[in-house]
């Protein structure tokens, strides 16, 4: 089986300022000095990509973004293109986050198009999937995850997941302080990997599947003991350098 290097990514959401961006990145650089064995990325608001790019110069921490548009240029007011993200050195691009699916009515098909433009541009899609509390209680977790993955497979083929990242984020765990248990998350991660393996074992073996939803410095280490949890997409706890660094170090140790 392919060895997967874990990836911990911070999703800052709608938080920060120019000063905060510089300060948090300086803190992360200090905390993470000498830490290897875990990829690290941060996705500040796109407004602050310039500050982030400058502050990250010479660091191993990769830059990312929380969204991208499907159009490459032209009359699309308010949107951000793949070329613009590349211009600032962004690499990992979050798409399909449940907050965008909910507040911006983004469909599976629309998100699959975003996946496609990112691959075209040589950027790394971080595809968020996951079920709501009601879907979870109705036993529909696997069905929802399969549907969200299949939208990409149907549009682009399973090979599109080569070099891509999936973030399993049960909606009931996001920002609630109620993380999935390591066993619960592992069961879904294994389902996701098996679902991809049914089309291509090689693609399934290398795809990074992060867990997201109330990951913090206290629960990360146990989550990372699970074989199919390859890192985390972290919201709230990514806004404090010490907590985020504990999560990164936990992944590096667990997957060494």
* Gap between the Cα atoms of 59 and 28, Å rounded: 10
Q: Please identify, using beta-carbon distances, which residue of 32 and 130 lies nearer to ligand PGA.
A: 130
Q: Is 130 a residue that touches ligand PGA (CB under 6 A)? A: no
Q: Shortest distance, CB of residue 232 to ligand PGA, whole angstroms?
A: 8
Q: Which stretch binds ligand PGA (CB under 6 A): 82-90, 117-125, 139-147, 169-177?
A: 169-177
* Gap between the Cα atoms of 53 and 25, Å rounded: 10
Query: Known catalytic residue: 97?
Result: yes
Count residues contacting ligand PGA (CB under 6 A)? Answer: 13
Nearest one of 225, 129, 140, 142 to 190, comparing CA atoms: 142
- For residue 58, say whether it is annotated as part of any ligand binding site: no
Strand partners, 126: 94, 165
Whether the CA torsion 63, 66, 69, 70 is positive or negative: it is positive
> Binding string, 4-33, against ligand PGA, x = CB under 6 A?
-------x----------------------
Catalytic residue among 51, 97, 99, 189: 97
Helices (H), the chain: 18-31, 49-56, 82-87, 98-103, 108-121, 133-137, 141-156, 182-197, 201-206, 220-224, 241-254
- Tell me the residue nearest to ligand PGA as measured from the CB: 235
Catalytic residue among 51, 106, 131, 169: 169
Is the CB of residue 85 less than 8 Å from the CB of residue 118? no
* Gap between the Cα atoms of 224 and 250, Å rounded: 7
Query: Known catalytic residue: 135?
Result: no
Q: Please identify, using beta-carbon distances, which residue of 31 and 205 lies nearer to ligand PGA.
A: 31
Our CA angle for 203, 7, 164, nearest 5°, is: 30
86: burial class by Cβ within 10 Å (0-12, 13-18, 19+)? middle
> Binding string, 236-255, against ligand PGA, x = CB under 6 A?
xx------------------
What kind and span of H or E run contains 125? strand 124-129
- For residue 235, say whether it is annotated as part of any ligand binding site: yes
Q: Is 127 a residue that touches ligand PGA (CB under 6 A)? A: no
Q: Is 234 a residue that touches ligand PGA (CB under 6 A)? A: yes
Q: Is 235 a residue that touches ligand PGA (CB under 6 A)? A: yes
Q: Among residue numbers 174 through 213, which ones bind ligand PGA (CB under 6 A)? A: 174-175, 212-213
> Which residues are part of a known binding site for substrate?
11-13, 175, 214, 235-236
Interacting residues with ligand PGA (CB under 6 A): 11, 169, 174-175, 212-215, 233-237
Active site residues: 97, 169
């Amino acid at each position: 089986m392919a060895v997967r290097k874990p990836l911990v990514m911070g999703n800052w959401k709608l938080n920060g300022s120019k000063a905060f961006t510089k300060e948090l990145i300086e803190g992360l650089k200090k905390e993470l000095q000498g830490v290897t064995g875990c990829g690290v990325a941060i996705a500040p608001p796109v407004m602050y990509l310039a500050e982030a790019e400058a502050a990250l110069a010479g660091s191993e921490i990769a830059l990312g973004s929380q969204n991208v548009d499907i159009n490459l240029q032209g009359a699309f007011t308010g949107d951000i293109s793949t070329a613009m993200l590349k211009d600032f050195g962004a690499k990992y691009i979050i798409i399909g986050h449940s907050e965008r699916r909910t507040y911006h009515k983004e469909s599976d098909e629309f998100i699959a198009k975003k996946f496609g433009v990112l691959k075209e541009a040589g950027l790394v899609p971080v595809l968020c999937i996951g079920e709501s509390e009601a879907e979870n209680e109705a036993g529909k977790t696997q069905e929802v995850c399969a549907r969200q993955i299949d939208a990409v497979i149907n549009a682009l083929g399973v090979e599109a997941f080569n070099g891509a990242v999936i973030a399993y984020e049960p909606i009931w765990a996001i920002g609630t302080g109620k993380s999935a248990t390591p066993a619960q998350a592992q069961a879904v991660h294994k389902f996701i990997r098996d679902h991809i393996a049914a089309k291509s074992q090689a693609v399934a073996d290398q795809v990074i599947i992060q867990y997201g939803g109330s990951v913090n410095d206290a629960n990360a280490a146990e989550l990372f003991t699970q074989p199919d949890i390859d890192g985390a997409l972290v919201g709230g706890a990514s806004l404090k350098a010490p907590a985020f660094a504990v999560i990164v170090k936990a992944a590096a140790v667990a997957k060494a």
